[in-house]
Chain A
């Protein structure tokens, strides 16, 4: 795997090849592997090694980027030329800031350990052995198993000609499992930088129980129901709003927070942070320009408190007519690599624990009539300003009555506004690290929500 010293040497070569006023290089290296199974068989099993670097150059207010995974000297010269020839033909952008120096990068918060050798060195034989145990649980319950077990080691780095340099190494491991019966299914997923935190057999057992318990599903009529969303379901739906918390999205007037920063949009118990250093979070502590990611409270007691900013977006917002309407305006270290259209977004979401947390079992026990949802699927935005989203339930959807899970039900389509949903939260659990398929990983609670709008039923 590429080391920081090797990357620094490559950066020096690139600087020598460059004629630009400023030059920046992003490095990304990965060794990853994934064992995939279906029908209780390992049917795909892959591994990859790749290092790529991305060169940004600036000339007289114009900037552009070129990327390659070829690290020989001729290729380095070519990628520099490609970036420079693109940058030179840009119209000068008065809003383009000089690249940040070390003093502009901010302070780096100490991160918990995110690199574990055992995770990096996990072998295909070890992954296969773990899959075999999960398949055994499927066979014990006369179900079939499908899923993945993956591990990776990644490096990310940034260097620029103003002396800024930062580096991050990380491992990751993940198990996702679906248990399938004749007319039902159950699902679980967990990931961690530390593979020793993963327990495939526990995940398999929970998924199997969901599949068994939801067998012979019955039809519940669509309508507005009380819903208990497990953390992965919460994650996948709320994830659709966080790209709107960027300063540029409000400047562009494409955010559902246009004219709403500072207003109470959600319930009192909704408190949301972006916090890369949280022990259950993951990822690099710097953004696409090398600015250190700050801990930012986005929502406080249901009030949209502030936005996140790349350096350029913060400068533009300070000069805009919106500047007195959007709360604090400072670079927060959430920018995407330049140049880009999106600006920035919070990517390390952490929900704060509620004052009186409830477990999912307690939420079930307190529900007279409602729906328990394991996960949500194929979520898409229907209306951008109301944040109306549609999607399906999947892999373990249950009818709850008189405080008990009664039986499985046919899956629903929902059409629900995030503003409405997060204003009708009746209970929350302690937040946990969760992973879904529609949004990025977060630390989120399970939620009990009133009047959740299920509009149609499907056939299974």
Chain B
């Protein structure tokens, strides 16, 4: 790969590029799914190519190709420089990059079992066992199960001398049971909705998830929801399970702290952010119990946001985002770091694939667990009256990240510390900072899970990225519940 990279680096430099970054990626994935006892999908895919990012005349250009012959690589590099020069026709100032020591490194995400070494028969047998358990429950009308593996080999080289090779494995699995009757479709998913749980781990994740063991319960819950009471409307104390809290973090913390968004760079598509620069180290984002970090380091866990170096060669770091409720940090890059007085990038520039421009992305944006021992059951027992919600079903937030609304698959009303009735269609809404300032309890480390959101969308052209969100169940006071079904 060094030869290929040198063709690109030299060709771009010869044409006057001041900075050149070359990213070569070889991406392999397997996707399997079953539906109602039969195969849903079975595919294996690979994609290999080069993306060349350059600064010339103070502006950016990027070109990517699937052809790694010398002629094609040099032509791609030349195209990137041509594009940069075109960009320079419409600029307000020259782009400058925060300094970063050029690293030479080789890293692989830890795993015990290479998922691609497992047989497809073994994978499908497991999915069909799950399927069989789900459909053994009378009233389940649709059972879907999926398993996904990915291996990314990424080589990064720069005109500053960076030479980094990283290998990442990702595994994801989950299932859903649907129950349709009358005028209603209810759904229960496990371990999480929209594809399940995902981590940068090997096949050992599949065993840890205990998929078969939970299937019957999940099917029974889907059917039980058809007869459950509708979640009431009003203002309640709510308890969110960790998976739902992870998505709450993603939407109402992870996205607004993306510095490119704050600076207007996503205005035409993903939006901007209410976290204007004047709010750094001034805004009370949450209650004193809210401590949120963006941590890409291996020691944080095998999250989808874990790596050794980002896609411009900056080492993984832990960035404090909210510290005892105070807003303390953004997600930054070499281009944006100096705009918030940072001498160094926070290392969050990531690209989906070889053919996409890296951009600021969440890493593992996680809420730290409570320090005092507290289980979910203890939290319920300590709640006089509230509504507990689990597993996301719908999510929506405005383009500055203020007003949000989430719907969950299942809920329970809590009275005097006990779950009294099952509730269907629970939903809640609020304003981001008001919501986080209402958090009055969070469970401790034994309840904390590093959840994966595999398909976060951003950018033009669009790209998706996996992000990690560690969370434990937590309680929030006086939250508006049920507006989604208002008047229905």
Interface positions of A (Cβ within 8 A of B): 32-52, 54, 62-70, 79, 82-83, 85-87, 89-91, 93, 95, 123-125, 127-129, 131-132, 135, 144, 146-148, 150, 176-178, 180, 185, 187, 224, 252-254, 258, 339-341, 377-386, 388, 390-392, 394, 411, 413, 415, 417, 437, 453, 455-460
Contacts and interface: CB of A to CB of B under 8 A. Distances in A.
A35 B87 CA distance: 8
Contacts of B456: none
A60 B246 CA distance: 44
Nearest to A135: B90
Nearest to A144: B264
8 contacts: A49-B64, A252-B142, A252-B178, A339-B40, A339-B41, A392-B399, A413-B405, A455-B486
Given A38-B266, A253-B141, A458-B403, A379 B43 contact: no
Interface in B401-448: 402-403, 405, 407, 425, 427, 429, 431
Nearest to A381: B394
A93 B357 contact: no
B486 A453 contact: yes
A15 B128 CA distance: 31
B427 A382 contact: yes
Contacts of A252: 35-36, 141-142, 178
Given A50-B49, A394-B399, A453-B486, A124 B268 contact: no
A51 B265 contact: no
Contacts of B61: 45, 124
A128 B394 contact: no
A153 to B, nearest CB: 15
B124 to A, nearest CB: 7
B27 to A, nearest CB: 10
Interface string B115-154: 0000111001000100000000000011010000000000
A28 to B, nearest CB: 11
Q: Which 10 A-B pairs have the closest CB atoms?
A: A124-B86, A341-B40, A67-B45, A458-B403, A146-B267, A64-B42, A42-B87, A253-B180, A146-B268, A128-B86
Give chain B's interface secondary structure class.
mixed
Contacts of A35: 86-87
Contacts of B300: none
Residue in B46, B62, B65 whose Cβ sees the most chain A Cβ within 10 Å: B46
A411 to B, nearest CB: 6
Give chain A's interface secondary structure class.
strand
Contact of A458 (B63, B86, B266, B398): B398
A460 B38 CA distance: 49
Given A125-B86, A131-B90, A43 B398 contact: no
A41 B92 contact: yes
A42 B180 contact: no
Residue in A33, A51, A457 whose Cβ sees the most chain B Cβ within 10 Å: A33
A86 B429 contact: no
A341 B35 contact: yes
Given A45-B87, A46-B461, A49-B64, A254 B39 contact: no
Contacts of A36: 268, 460
A90 B38 CA distance: 9
Given A45-B83, A131-B90, A93 B268 contact: no
A93 B39 contact: yes
A388 B39 contact: no
Interface residues of B, number: 89
Contacts of B44: 64-67, 82-83, 86
Contact of A49 (B59, B67, B400): B67
A45 B396 contact: no
Contact of B397 (A32, A378, A386): A378
Contact of B41 (A37, A79, A82, A341): A341
A52 B354 CA distance: 14
A69 B67 CA distance: 9
B344 interface: no
Interface of B: 33, 35-36, 38-49, 59-67, 76, 79-80, 82-84, 86-93, 119-121, 124, 128, 141-142, 144, 178, 180, 183-185, 187, 263-269, 271, 274, 355-357, 359, 393-400, 402-403, 405, 407, 425, 427, 429, 431, 460-461, 483-488
Contact of A48 (B59, B65, B180): B65
Nearest to B425: A383
Residue in B39, B65, B178, B402 whose Cβ sees the most chain A Cβ within 10 Å: B39
A391 B87 CA distance: 34
A123 B85 CA distance: 12
A379 to B, nearest CB: 7
Given A38-B268, A253-B141, A390-B394, A148 B49 contact: no
Nearest to A259: B183
B60 A43 contact: yes
Contacts of B178: 252-254
B66 A390 contact: no
Residue in A40, A129, A341 whose Cβ sees the most chain B Cβ within 10 Å: A341
Contact of B83 (A50, A66, A124): A124
Contact of A45 (B33, B62, B429, B483): B62
Contacts of A38: 263-268
Nearest to A36: B460
Contact of B461 (A34, A128, A144, A185): A34
Residue in B49, B88, B461 whose Cβ sees the most chain A Cβ within 10 Å: B461
B407 A382 contact: yes
Contacts of B142: 252-254
Nearest to A339: B41
Contacts of B271: 377
A102 B66 CA distance: 32
A64 B43 contact: yes
A39 B92 contact: yes
A417 B59 CA distance: 46
Nearest to A341: B40
A41 B91 CA distance: 4
B264 A386 contact: no
A457 B43 CA distance: 44
A340 B265 contact: no
Contacts of B48: 69-70
Contact of B43 (A65, A129, A381): A65
A341 B403 contact: no
A187 B399 CA distance: 13
